[in-house]
Structure 1
């Protein structure tokens, strides 16, 4: 059976597409949808209902971001909590997708929860790389973006990094001392990823590298295609399930917010993408002690501050075994995104993390 969508079907989907034509890239999403539902007409019908619903839904106005207190190139440091006598707490998101996953909405915001709990909370917004940033690698994001912004704070902050932001937080902590460092779903031991995922990522980069080098950046669509390929069945099933979400419900608002976040975001600089896919994923440089920043090897075993690694046994993007080995470790059973924005995130992650931060001067 031909698993490709027909021209008429693509035209129909595009005719009802929202202005952002999400999910991005839409043609690839349609191809996955058609392939994954070729033996299940009812699933296909419901997935298309969910897709149309996603594209046509009215979005509530976004919550206003924090106040900008420092910049470094396109990156900004946004303040959410009032200054206190304790250490500031800086939350570092991944370079992939926008930072809003940590401030998704008024009711699903780790940053607003931390501010309400009395922490002087800040969020890094990496911004969009310019043409001059093509050769800014992961080390450059730490040395030329992150550390200069942290220096603008009244005292050294506690660092909390999510996903690749946790990897960068550990790199920053290897360059200078911070009061404490916590990581959430941070990839570090890349040889612990499933072999199939490593092959998928290697093939994706092999096919995209020449184009990315020519244009100087890695488009978000390249990264999104990799995420979808890891679990195509789930990619389609969630849209089919969304067909039943009541209009105006919390479930609808949550789905829209998460999917808009997942389909948005600036590209990676070419050098950051090359570092991520070649040095970390392919070479496991971080865990093997071969990752160098500012000419120095990153050795997390040598960190002399309290450290915490939070992982999830049900994380499909960053498996629990791929997290760093730090002085404290905590395991959850929530998805990669659900652990920070899901209905149980406050109870399972936000509140225990807030207590840990308080225990270490935050």
Structure 2
């Protein structure tokens, strides 16, 4: 079944201004700004200038929408490459925030780089959860969304999962034969997270869970507030620094694109949110070997294909110690987002990953 181009690409194409007065949730951001700058009036003024500039800046148009492919429910595959007789390479983003971080702009697109390098590159767009998706958990995203779409491909694919997408990719690769799998900053052993972060995230979920249960989904604002809680000072400093970024520069365009991505995206289904916060962060179900899809335990050591774990040594969102123990490991001194869209991403991640994919049939 063929799907239309993503709603996100269409919506962005219709507007070149900030989609809302972000960051979201704005009241919480302002509260953090005020608290973090209480003893530094100059930093406070710079952060407010950066915030106003972000809200009022004109956005460049997004890159052209990719070709549509197979879909399952409201998830779909988007095609960036062409059939070259080699194994498709399917990039799987997190369920949190839109997939556009892997196709941020013409110059900062991992997917377009891979297609230009000759890979038959595809991107999973998870879509927007519908009212009937409330009980679709993380396992369901693998068995009812990801695997049915992959079944339409002409050859066993190579999976490349980013962040939580890497966790889901591991589930798919244990259940079905894949040519190879690579994960990028994927959380697996949640004991590798600092105790403080797990405590903060647990408290956040305890407060938010009753409302999310009634809604049937986890609003993006709940997820964003959890990220901010990990490093509130950095959240404010980056807006203060943006106040002095040269107008029209690549740095300005990159900041706008990354922040718009971070402040956007559909909600999580309630079941996926509860799995993530209660079963993974709190109980470390995956790291302890207790995560099952159907009757199958998901154990990375059971993979029967080549595997690569790309880790960031400076990541606060997914520490290197939490990443899966795969057969090959690539450590990068780049941040969680910077490793895929930053100034050093092309040299440190894109080129080595492309070479690895080629080596294993992609």
Which TM bucket (shorter chain)?
over 0.9
In 1, Cα distance between equivalents of 2:208 and 2:174: 31
148 and 19 in structure 1: CA distance in 2 versus 1, 3 angstrom threshold: closer
Question: 3-state DSSP class of the match of 2:330?
Answer: strand
CA distance in 2, matches of 1:46, 1:21: 18
In structure 1, the residue matched to 2:57 is 57
Query: What TM-score results when the alignment is normalised by the length of structure 1?
Result: 0.95
Deviations 1:100-151 (A, max 9, x none): 0000000000000000000000000001100000000001100110001111
Q: Which residue of 1 aligns with 2:7?
A: none
Report the counterpart of residue 151 of structure 1 in structure 2: 151
Query: In 2, distance between residues paired with 1:241 and 1:328?
Result: 37
Correspondence for 1:9: none
1:226 corresponds in structure 2 to: 226
| Residues 17-59 of structure 1: CA deviation (Å, up to 9, x unaligned) | 9550100000000000000001000000000000000000000
SS of the residue 1:69 aligns to = strand
Counterpart of 2:176 in structure 1 is 176
Runs of 4+ in 1 over 6 A off after TM superposition: none
Which aligned pairs between 1:216-255 and structure 2 lie closer than 5 A?
Answer: 216-255=216-255
SS in 2 for 1:286: coil
Question: Matched residues in 1 for 2:172 and 2:276: separation?
Answer: 16
For the pair 1:103 / 2:103, whether they are aligned, the reply is yes
What is the CA deviation profile of residues 208-253 of structure 1, one whole-angstrom value per residue up to 9, with x for unaligned ones?
Answer: 0010010000000000000001000000000000001111110000
Equivalent position of 1:201 in the other structure: 201
- Aligned equivalent of 1:30: 30
Counterpart residue number, 1:318: 318
Q: Structure 1 unaligned runs (5+)?
A: 1-16
| Structure 1 position 65, deviation (Å) | 2.4
- What's 1:122 paired with? 122
**Alignment length (residue pairs):** 346
CA distance in 1, matches of 2:287, 2:351: 29
How far apart in 2 are the matches of 1:64 and 1:117? 18
The alpha-carbon distance between structure 1 residues 18 and 126, as it changes in their structure 2 partners (threshold 3 A), is closer
SS in 2 for 1:147: helix
**What SS does structure 2 have at the residue aligned with 1:94?**
coil
Alignment partner, residue 7 of structure 1: none
Separation of aligned partners in 1, 2:53 and 2:137: 39
What is the DSSP-based 3-state SS (H/G/I as helix, E as strand, rest coil) of the residue aligned with 1:247? coil
Whole-angstrom CA distance in 2 between matches of 1:60 and 1:18? 10
Is the CA contact 2:24–2:263 (under 8 Å) kept in the aligned structure 1?
yes
1:21 corresponds in structure 2 to 21
Partner of 1:3: none
Q: For residue 73 of structure 1, what is the aligned residue in structure 2?
A: 73
What is the CA–CA distance in structure 1 between the aligned matches of 2:189 and 2:159, rounded to whole Å? 20
Q: Secondary structure at the match of 2:153?
A: coil
- 3-state SS of 2:287 partner: helix
Residue number in structure 1 paired with 2:48: 48
Report the equivalent of 2:164: 164
Name the counterpart of 1:284.
284
- Give the distance between the partners of 1:76 and 1:149, measured in 2 at CA: 7
Query: C-alpha distance in 2, partners of 1:349/1:107?
Result: 15
CA RMSD of aligned residues (A): 0.9
**Would you say the 8 A contact 2:88–2:119 is kept in 1?**
yes
Return the TM-score normalized by structure 2: 0.95
Q: Which residue of 1 aligns with 2:214?
A: 214
